[in-house]
Amino acid sequence: MFIRGKNGIHKLKQMLASGVVTSGVSRAAELLVRLQKLKDEKEKFENRQGFLFRDRDLDQAIQVVDREIESVRRHLVDLANEDQKHQPLG
C-alpha cells in the first residue's frame, strides 16, 4: 500500500481505527490475547480432568486446544519474521 500526503495518512488512520487494515503490532496483540485465552481454557480443562480416571473426551479437547496454541504461536513467529524482513538495514 502506498500512502502519500496528509490526506493519505488521515485515511490510513481511519482504516486502522475501523479495523479495515491492521498493523503488525495490533495483529500481534490480538494473537497474544488469543494465546492467553487458549492457555486459560487448557488450564480449566486440565483442572477438570481426573488423575486416576481420565475422561477421554476431555483429553481430546485438551489436545485440540494444544494444537490451536501451537498454531497461534506459529502465526506469531511468522509475523515477527515478516516484520524483520521489512526492517531497514543499518
Q: What's the pLDDT tens digit per position in 17-59?
A: 665 555 566 788 888 999 999 999 999 999 999 888 999 999 9
5 or 76: which leads in pLDDT: 76
What φ, ψ does residue 50 adopt, rounded to 5°?
A: -75, 155
**In the prediction, which pLDDT does 75 show?**
92
Mean pLDDT, range 54-71, rounded to an integer: 96
14 or 77: which leads in pLDDT: 77
Mean of per-residue pLDDT scores for the chain: 81
DSSP per-residue letters across 13-67? HHHHHHTSS--HHHHHHHHHHHHHHHHHHHHHHHHHS-SSS--HHHHHHHHHHHH
